Amino acid sequence: MLPKITRSTRRVIALLLLTPAIVLLLGLLYMLGMTYLEGQPRTYLRSVMWASETLTTTGYGSDNQWTHPAMALLIITTQFLGQALSILILPVLLLPYFEKQFEARLPHMLPKNMEGVVMFYRFSPAIESVLDEFINTNSPFVIFEEDMVLARSLRDKGCNVVFGKLGNDPTAFASVRDARAVVCNGDDHSNATCTLIVREMGFKGSLFSLTDNPVYRTPMLQIGATEVFTPSHVLGAALASRGSIRISPPAEGMHLLGAKVGMAEFRVRAGSPLAGQRLCDLELRDKYSVSIIGQWLGGVFTTSKGRDTTVEAGAILVVVGAPENLEKVERMAMPIRREGPIVVAGFGMVGCKVVEMLQDAGETCIVIDQEAAEGVNVVGNVLEQDTLKRAKARDASAIILALSDDSESVFATAVVRDYAPEVPLIVRVLRTPNTERIYRAGADFAVSVGQVAGQILAYHLLGEHPWKVDALERTGAKVVAVERRGQVLVTFPHDFVVKPDDSLFVCGSHHSLERFRNVFQVIQF
């Protein structure tokens, strides 16, 4: 039995047969016209060459002047016919055909064997980091993507991709019942539809939904989601916690640990006598009775590795010692200002969450946005110095850039750093790979929604335990340290587990701390 020929295939075959027929016919008409109308006989081969050159608009060779009106009409008709072939017929018939054939090479159904496989519905920067973890750990996954261009790009990167339209063919999800887990990462409405389809197909496992609006958390749980996360809100909380001493760990700014001991963070200027020096050469402990715990550089905290540790220019140095001795070190570096309002640029979903948390903690905020709205204090472009001047950016205790475009964020980081070089600068990043560019532009701290969502999903999908992120997500309070058997821990591996006798040090507003106590049922904090 012969295979069925589709309509698009028949169109392409007809075009392939019609094109040479048109060329041969026009060649014949041209030969007759040149012989009997112009009195300049041409061979049929030359006439066919003329037809080909004219239809493809490549030129006319030696024939470029005609006197008879009928020949002029033939020439004009042939020219317009060539334009129609190149502009209308080819794009309408050929290109869609080849696109469809290319599309056909992408599977339209989930693999039959989905045992142990995690299905992601739609790709976005939110799952970029966790997909990298899946690839690094050789964990099986498949992405169901509705955008053809994006599906091709993901396939070219080596991802297992299924292309289709949600709801067009529910049988594409037939094998999802055997999947290890499902992650819905589309818009809120599509996530709801995907959840219902997956459950209708008999999937009984864990289904995680990433939502933009926390209002939809309860409805999503009701229709079948196991957990509903709001990465954008967690991102806002992370930015706010880094900008405010009332939310962030006490190891920021000056904080008294006791009657005689304090902790401080100092930004090391490029011209500071500390920059580029080893601890053994500085002799800070011997001279000033202070200890270097570590330093922040490029968003990464590195603990001190002894006397050979080099103090990097531009780093944020974490120092412990008596307050009067810390002041001496302060003169050698540049302290981080912790007075004045916090400037927030960008009042979208993330920016609103940042401002909400800061105000809940009692901070004064100056909000910059290009559009006037309730809660916006300065209307203008953060890239303009006049806007920064009106927002009093140089007098701020911190500046938070919550912009929705990474290119704009990179440039804004450079502009703000130049205008207010002494103010801590915290930046939101859309795509995780751009984080390094943000740091090079001058940011003190940068975090992406992919990093936040990746940590959340890693706990549920890869067995990792980002418990601090979970606490921040659920309560708005941040765990900054754990005391265990007399030892205080400030850094935690992915497999860290809180034990019953541990003492937690938690930072947050009054309301977030109350939520933390109620959610996790702690005795006191």
Q: How many CA atoms lie within 13 A of 36 on its CB side?
A: 7
User: pLDDT tens-digit profile of 380-392?
Assistant: 999 999 999 999 9
Say if residues 55 and 81 touch (Cβ distance below 8 Å): yes
Q: How confident is the model at residue 338 (pLDDT cuts 50, 70, 90)?
A: low
Q: How many CA atoms lie within 13 A of 458 on its CB side?
A: 25
Domains of the chain by range and CATH? 7-103 (1.10.287.70), 118-229 (3.40.50.720), 255-335 (3.30.70.1450), 340-525 (3.40.50.720)
d(CA 258, CA 285): 19
Closest CA to 236 of 439, 428, 432: 428
Say if residues 24 and 32 touch (Cβ distance below 8 Å): no
**Percent above pLDDT 90 for the chain:** 26
User: pLDDT tens-digit profile of 392-432?
Assistant: 999 999 999 999 899 999 999 999 999 998 888 999 998 88
User: pLDDT tens-digit profile of 16-61?
Assistant: 677 778 778 877 888 888 888 888 888 887 777 777 777 666 565 5
* Phi and psi at residue 3, to the nearest 5°: -65, 150
Say if residues 264 and 335 touch (Cβ distance below 8 Å): yes
**Percent above pLDDT 70 for the chain:** 68
Hey, which residues does 319 pair with through a beta bridge? 264, 292
pLDDT at 472: 56
Closest CA to 238 of 505, 506, 496, 449: 449
H or E stretch at 491: none
User: pLDDT tens-digit profile of 308-323?
Assistant: 778 877 777 777 777 7
| 74 has pLDDT over 80 | no
Say if residues 459 and 495 touch (Cβ distance below 8 Å): no
When comparing pLDDT for 272 and 360, which is higher? 360
| 368 has pLDDT over 50 | yes
Q: How many CA atoms lie within 13 A of 191 on its CB side?
A: 29
Q: How confident is the model at residue 523 (pLDDT cuts 50, 70, 90)?
A: very low
